[in-house]
Amino acid sequence: MESGSLKISFQNPAVRSANEKRKFSFAITRRDFIRKTGMLGGSLLSGEVWRTRDFAYEPVEARYYRKLDGERVQCLLCPHECVVASGRRGHCQVRENRDGTYFSLIYGRIAAFHNDPIEKKPLYHFMPGSLAFSLATAGCNVNCKFCQNWELAQRRPEDLPFVLYRPEEVSIRALEWRSSSIAFTYNEPTVYTEFIVEAAAEARSRGVKTVLISNGYINEKPLGDLCEVVDAYKIDLKAFTESYYREVVNGRLSSVLDTLIRLRERKIWTEIVYLIVPTLNDDPKSLEQMATWIRNNLGDDVPLHFSRFYPKYKLKNLPPTPITALEKARNLCLDAGLHYVYIGNVPGHEGENTYCPQCHKMLIQRLGYRIIKNHIQNGRCLHCGNEIAGVWQSF
């Protein structure tokens, strides 16, 4: 064995044919192996190994596109609706036109996984205290200058080592890890919708729930397919102005608002996260307009999380969000009539806790991702009996 490398032989069930079992081997540096299994959280189970970037991966034909003349295609997955020439990729860099057929380059190609508390997503009203088997691929369909997971979201598939999963293997691993749900997270799940639809259907058949941690930038048809098998969505609402989406995110606010309305219509449990970036999306008037829109279009029981920004990726010239700015935003939205407004990335703050909107007593006390107390029983406040919106289980 060469110094500094890890030589592994394996059988690859995700790409072998029904009549053939092919054996592969590869070398991955020890540094990459430790980084993937440590920093990104992927702990290998028996029989699992990371594939190198140059592993011969077979892509899967995309589901959401139409063919145009001259071997061009138009992607119909997200509002970008990229027109892609043969040999080129769409905006997300994970879908490629090969001679007039559009392919997903990340179907089953998992670049990171970990067992997380559901509170980390954050989902505060969905099975609190449970674990979510969390997975990611490469790629995203927007380009936020402040991207908190750019090492995955802003990378091409060939940039990252990966583990190959069949759709049924995801829920099998979740059950082995005693996870109540599967979370497609870290990068944007929309870009590998084909795999998620199949994996979530398999999970539902095994009694495992599925949640998506998403920017909400998706077209109606693929969103509808996901709603058939997904149990909850966390949507990142980046700002409440089109100019911010255009200049900082490379997307459209109107498309995300459409997604939020469709999720409400389909009765998919939804929570919203708003990352407050100092001087860019913290205008009180805009925040008040957002709170009013949420109340009028989604209802007053949709949890809203204000999260603290830390300088990262291409936006390192701004300071972390002042805690006072988070508190002002929270109070403004509570005054606007929203029942559940939280502060994130500030462990120990009272804004992490859930309070009954009727008797105002604390129902769930949190410390970071930990549940300290839970006074919700059968979906109701233990103090006054008021129904608390959410998807609950015993703590």
Q: Give tens-digit pLDDT for 179-205.
A: 999 999 999 999 999 999 999 999 999
Dihedral angle computed from the Cα positions of residues 295, 299, 303 and 304, in that order, rounded to the nearest 10 degrees? -20
Residue 133: the pLDDT is 97
Given the structure tokens 């189970």, which residue do they identify? 45
Amino acid at 11: Q
Residues 122, 120: Cα–Cα separation, whole Å: 5
* Residue 135 host element (H or E): strand 131-136
**Correct CATH for 110-381 of 3.20.20.70, 3.20.19.10, 1.10.287.130, 3.90.660.10:** 3.20.20.70
Rounded Cα distance, 391 and 76, in Å: 32
pLDDT at 51: 76
Give the pLDDT of residue 34. Answer: 42
- The label of the residue with tokens 């109107």 reads 254
Backbone CA torsion sign across 371, 375, 381, 384: negative
**Residue-wise pLDDT tens digits, 373-385:** 999 999 999 999 9
Domain ranges of the chain: 60-104, 110-381
Check residue 393 and give its pLDDT. Answer: 76
**Amino acid letter, 63:** R
Asked whether 122 and 305 are in contact (CB, 8 A), the reply is yes
How far, in Å, are 271, 327, 334 from residue 300 at the CA level?
A: 12, 19, 10
pLDDT tens string for the chain (395 positions)? 233 322 222 223 333 333 333 222 333 444 454 444 444 455 555 556 677 666 778 999 999 999 999 999 999 999 999 999 999 999 999 999 999 999 999 999 999 999 999 999 999 999 999 999 999 999 999 999 999 899 999 999 999 999 999 999 999 999 999 999 999 999 999 999 999 999 999 999 999 999 999 999 999 999 999 999 999 999 999 999 999 999 999 999 999 999 999 999 999 999 999 999 999 999 999 999 999 999 999 999 999 999 999 999 999 999 999 999 999 999 999 999 999 999 999 999 999 999 999 999 999 999 999 999 999 999 999 999 999 999 997 43
Closest listed residue to residue 324, CA positions, set 306, 303, 336? 306
**Secondary structure (H, E, C), 50-90:** CECCCCCCCCEECCCEEECHHHCEEECCCCCCCEECCCCEC
